[in-house]
Structure 1
């Protein structure tokens, strides 16, 4: 096909059609209630932990400040999906305007990048606390904490803005997205113009936002394990108590992200439709619910303060 023919067949669509939704009849109200309950629990648990950390000076330590950043990101990511999902469940026509679609891509992709970067920063914090306990306070100063949190948020936002600007300029030959929410690569696949720049930047973005944080996390835990095996029983117990929630959260999110990448890049027609929808939503539903429950139950300082607040309200 010549470039002239491509331009004739392409256009700038003002909306996209989400084709993964299907008619479930009156069950849509049950689905709506289930999703609403998920969202309310996510909001309550994350807001509770953010308030607990912000209002208690005893928790104004690097580890808890990084946790607070993580909980804010869980709210940000889930809010980029749940209100949109609730509207779509009750709607008979599953369309989304192009600006709203790109806004959702911004929220979802920022959430994923910030989550991995935040987990990498937390692993670095645990590495300093366990491997250099006597020098921890001089190495992890308030200014350094502020800088790390700033990088955790600012860099992903700038990277996603570039990603979206590249996708928004594409000439599209269709507007049907085979998902229940908007994804950047789903739009790139609709393009009939040259997408080499998008593909190269997308690969670079994946490496920087996922592979690099995972390498840093792996390096930090190799150092932690070496200290644990050569250290005392008390050192090993401290490492296990502080690193277990972080590792569990990392493994859970890595699994969800892995499926997201596979689903967007490869043909998943052999996967049952309901399973595909569940796994695509797992990325944005279970992690925001899993993380606050995991940390709230496993970190004694947070657990004790949460009990006091809840008992005081009761």
Structure 2
């Protein structure tokens, strides 16, 4: 009984161990600069993504698979940012930048679960464009409500289950170091383990293949097929392919580069200066959540049309009000 209670206490103390976040540069000097800049970015992320979700939600002509997947990506960006930014606010305003191990593992779980979900949702969007352009007669039956629901469930459930296994394995590892060279928790936490188990390395590669490499290869394959069909088709098909596929490719390229940054930070941790590491970390948590809704809002013609109408109706100028009434 005594040994059992001692083991429980050791596990509890292990999860409550404080990990110092050592990735900040002159945080005491620039404390309020950090806070104001990150608050502005977080508010912009909330406003942009909520706008996209709201527009898709209220307009029935946008209740199509492509737009539903865009709304799901915006929801991911909201959840991702909420898992990162509030903790950043608390850290820069605190005298000590630290995090408990349990909180760190939870943040890392959401970080990679939502990242993997983005890749799967982008794959679903690529498949949707492939069916729409290459097999338009089969679109209604292939991309049914059931199919979209399955894609959404897999997009959120598959990465979550796989990352849950990785989190459980990580939770059982003993820490020998307590300073994380970053401002939030990602796979750099593995550098704090006394011994990195082989099973964690193997499982991480398995997860990386499932939720990153396979979706990217599938996306590239579908877009090659789309380009081949569009090249042989009429001008109208080429225009449709360019208008709907270009934003997805832009998001995929941007997101893949940011994921590459995350890998580089983890692998070259000791070779990067603190300033370079901070800049690369900030790009990961700023670009994708902020620029995705901007890309979709500007490049997707139907969404941009509703955004302009929303802005027009939000003004109090008489001419704008008359135009808004006519548009309705």
Q: Same fold (TM over 0.5)?
A: yes
Higher relative contact order (CA 8 A, sep 6+): 1
Residue 19 (structure 1) aligns with: 22
Residue 55 (structure 1) aligns with: 58
How many angstroms apart in 2 are the aligned matches of 1:47 and 1:118?
18
Q: Aligned ranges for residues 1-314 of structure 1 at < 5 Å?
A: 12=14, 14-183=17-186, 185-193=187-195, 195-264=197-266, 266-314=267-315
Specify the SS of the correspondent of 2:99: strand
Aligned residues: 303
Q: Note the aligned Cα RMSD (angstroms).
A: 1.6
Structure 1 regions of 5+ residues with no counterpart? 1-10
Identify the structure with the greater helix proportion: 2
Per-residue CA distance 1:207-256 (angstroms, 9 max, x = gap): 11110101110110111111012111211111111111000011001101
How many angstroms apart in 2 are the aligned matches of 1:125 and 1:307?
26
Query: Structure 1 stretches (4+) deviating beyond 6 angstroms?
Result: none
The TM-score normalised by the length of structure 2 is 0.89
Say whether the 8 Å CA contact 1:120–1:217 is kept in structure 2. Answer: yes
How many angstroms apart in 2 are the aligned matches of 1:25 and 1:66?
42
How many angstroms apart in 2 are the aligned matches of 1:222 and 1:163?
34
Say whether the 8 Å CA contact 2:24–2:278 is kept in structure 1. Answer: no
Structure 2 regions of 5+ residues with no counterpart? 1-12, 316-328
Structure 1 residues 145-154 or 174-183, which shifts more?
A: 174-183
Per-residue CA distance 1:119-147 (angstroms, 9 max, x = gap): 11111111111101122112111111111
How many angstroms apart in 1 are the aligned matches of 2:202 and 2:52?
39
